[in-house]
Structure 1
Amino acid sequence: MKAYGDEKSERKEYTELVRGTRYLAPGGIMLYIIPSYRFSDRQIARFLATHFEDVALTRFTDEDYPDFRQCIFIGKKKESKTKRFDELLYQKFLDCNSEHFIETEVKPADQLIGEQTWTVPAVKPEVATFYTRIEQKEEFYSLIHNNKGFTAFKERTRPKSLSIGGDPIINIAQGQMALLLASGAVNGVLGEGERLHVVQGMEVVTQVVTEEKTEHSTITKSRTKREVSVKVITPKGIVKKLM
């Protein structure tokens, strides 16, 4: 299995053991549950036999062990900087590769109750102090108003408006007129006073079929033709249709 941030794929029992021990306080109690045969892994066995004391190894109860085949390690993290390697404990872990050893030499968890106790050390966390004060909101008005990010936000959220006025420099092509139709700019009431018009525009789509005769056959071609139709009512009530 390859976890996030890892460079290679590997079993995670040993990796998580090292990570968990790193954050465990000296004198803290480690509960480590993995498949029983994994305790015979030399890396895991050596690490446990080096970094922990007051150790107990127990397995799941007789009712649950056949289904899960897992053992529970309980140990206190050593407080001294110099860690002494426990050879006998190391050998016991290596023997966990044998199911016969697990069933005969490792007690079920329900039989371990009351035989050995561990004390979880109290932790005194250091709370960082900080200073706050209440500010007047008026002091932030000018800062927000002159902020470049806030100015850009206002520009992005400003309502879009379409302004049409004056005469076009050149005649409007059909493509440009179609764009005006799609945007709704040539529908409704336009202009003021004597230049007030009621305009309705639409796009007329037709199919144009042509035939081309060759020496041996006739080729039929079909293309789509798009035209713009605009109806205008002038202030005098005259209806005009531009096609």
Structure 2
Amino acid sequence: MKAMDDESADRKEWQELARNSRYLKEKGLMIYVIPSYRYADKRIARFLATHFFNVGIMRFSDEDYDDFRQCIFIGNKKSGKHKEFNQKLFDFLVQMESDDFVMEKVSPINLFVNANKKWTVPTGIEELKTFYTKLVNKSDNVEAIRHSKGFNAFISRSKPKQLVIGGNPILPLNQGQLALLLASGAVNGEIGRDENYHLVQGLEIVSKVTEEEKKTHDNGSTSTVTKTRTKREVSVKIINPSGLVRKLV
């Protein structure tokens, strides 16, 4: 997951919801905690409105909500292949992008608990399948493992790889590949010999680029979504044998 002000991670709410729902038992209980505005994502809203019933939505208490902006979805997973779409729930969720709507329409968790709402958690499989095993002497397996093709392949793949510099690339290097060379130290130092001898110093210039996107809602209100991405640029300084300094950006 990712906090509202976290600039270093990708959004994971949808992927985690879809993945974990596959392993949830029919009529099993889902407790889903994400930032309130993420419920307005139509993929998330449609999925919750299609696959869950006996639903409850609450936000963090007034004491904590301003700091975390989190809401809690609780519901039982529907059974069967054909699931009825809950249009009312979908319409409610897509409006949760607005903080004013959340504060007015979504109850805080302390009031929700006082309402004594209950959910049923289905029982698991009570009968466990019997399996058999036995103890063996480790020394009996040493030779078999040592001569195993799979184990030898694992050892060869686990050896640290050496950076080999030389030759020309098949295709021109892009900025991402140059950044990897800079990070590995391959661009720094002495390159070439005789008349092609150069001293090279490479730098990776990292900056932040901020973009704002304004959205207008059906009720006339507007909200601004600020997105920040990392921009990486490559700068290389070269000194040739005659003392000429060049900077490649």
TM-score by length of 1: 0.51
Partner residue in 2 for 1:96: 96
1:147: how far off?
Answer: 6.0
Q: How far apart in 1 are the matches of 2:142 and 2:35?
A: 63
1:119: how far off?
Answer: 1.0
Sort the Cα spacing of 1:79 and 1:67 in 2 relative to 1 into closer, same or farther, 3 A.
Answer: same
1:16: how far off?
Answer: 0.2
Sort the Cα spacing of 1:127 and 1:94 in 2 relative to 1 into closer, same or farther, 3 A.
Answer: same
Q: How far apart in 2 are the matches of 1:10 and 1:145?
A: 45
Partner residue in 2 for 1:6: none
Partner residue in 2 for 1:39: 39
Structure 1, unaligned stretches of length 5 or more? 2-8, 151-243
Q: How far apart in 2 are the matches of 1:128 and 1:29?
A: 25
Q: How far apart in 1 are the matches of 2:50 and 2:141?
A: 59
Question: Runs in 1 of length 4+ with deviation above 3 angstroms?
Answer: 131-135, 143-150
SS in structure 1 of the partner of residue 122 of structure 2: coil
Partner residue in 2 for 1:131: 132
Q: How far apart in 2 are the matches of 1:134 and 1:88?
A: 59
Structure 2, unaligned stretches of length 5 or more? 2-8, 148-249
Task: Give the structure with higher Rg (CA).
Answer: 1
Q: How far apart in 2 are the matches of 1:120 and 1:148?
A: 46
SS in structure 1 of the partner of residue 85 of structure 2: coil
Q: Deviations over 1:204-234 (max 9, x none)?
A: xxxxxxxxxxxxxxxxxxxxxxxxxxxxxxx
1:100: how far off?
Answer: 0.8
For 1:88-167, list aligned pairs within 5 A.
Answer: 88-113=88-113, 114-124=115-125, 127-132=128-133, 149=146
Partner residue in 2 for 1:22: 22
Q: How far apart in 1 are the matches of 2:145 and 2:72?
A: 59
Amino acid at match of 2:48: L
- Paired residues, what number? 140
Sort the Cα spacing of 1:128 and 1:108 in 2 relative to 1 into closer, same or farther, 3 A.
Answer: same
1:79: how far off?
Answer: 1.4
Q: How far apart in 2 are the matches of 1:80 and 1:69?
A: 34
Partner residue in 1 for 2:225: none
- Find out whether 1:57 has 2:57 as its counterpart: yes
Q: How far apart in 2 are the matches of 1:99 and 1:21?
A: 27
Q: How far apart in 2 are the matches of 1:145 and 1:100?
A: 67
1:10: how far off?
Answer: 4.8
Partner residue in 2 for 1:73: 73
Q: How far apart in 1 are the matches of 2:101 and 2:142?
A: 76
1:11: how far off?
Answer: 1.6
For 1:204-243, list aligned pairs within 5 A.
Answer: none
Q: How far apart in 2 are the matches of 1:144 and 1:109?
A: 57
Sort the Cα spacing of 1:101 and 1:146 in 2 relative to 1 into closer, same or farther, 3 A.
Answer: closer
Q: How far apart in 1 are the matches of 2:121 and 2:21?
A: 15
Amino acid at match of 2:129: A
Q: How far apart in 2 are the matches of 1:27 and 1:131?
A: 33
Q: Deviations over 1:77-99 (max 9, x none)?
A: 00122111110100000110111
- RMSD of aligned Cα (Å): 2.9
1:145: how far off?
Answer: 10
Q: How far apart in 1 are the matches of 2:62 and 2:145?
A: 69
Amino acid at match of 1:72: I
Q: How far apart in 2 are the matches of 1:121 and 1:84?
A: 21
